[in-house]
Amino acid sequence: MLTLYFKPACPFCQRVLQMAENLNVTFDLKDISEDETARAELIEKGGKEQVPYLVDTDKDVAMYESSDIIDYIRDNKPAVGPGTTEAAKPKLHISNSVCESCEG
């Protein structure tokens, strides 16, 4: 199960959420700005109050950094459709910059 600790106003969190939507990946979302229990869990698990923070309980993986999280969900997303080995990389643009998806 994928759990994402986030704040709605965080642009890095929004970047991860948008890419997850593009990839049809779902998270158990924990908003640390509204939920003190989630905030305490984040600090206990990760050691600091930084978001986004991803926890994959199935693979015993946890990480900070939006770029790392996006790479992880892209690399660990199940293939779509019969016989498909790799899903196409969706494009995600933040403001006027070129995103990592477009560069790769």
Mean pLDDT by groups of 10 residues along the chain of 104 residues:
96 97 94 96 96 96 97 81 45 48 46
Residue 26 CA to residue 22 CA, distance in Å, equals 10
Give the domains, in start order, of the chain with CATH numbers: 2-103 (3.40.30.10)
Task: Quickly count: other Cβ atoms within 10 Å of residue 53's Cβ.
Answer: 25
Q: Residue 91: which of 25, 21, 26, 29 has the closest Cα?
A: 21
SS3 99: coil
Residue 78 CA to residue 44 CA, distance in Å, equals 30
Which single residue is written with the structure tokens 């704040």?
7
Query: What pLDDT sits at residue 70?
Result: 97
Q: Residue 27: which of 51, 56, 49 has the closest Cα?
A: 56
Query: What pLDDT sits at residue 77?
Result: 80
Query: What pLDDT sits at residue 79?
Result: 53
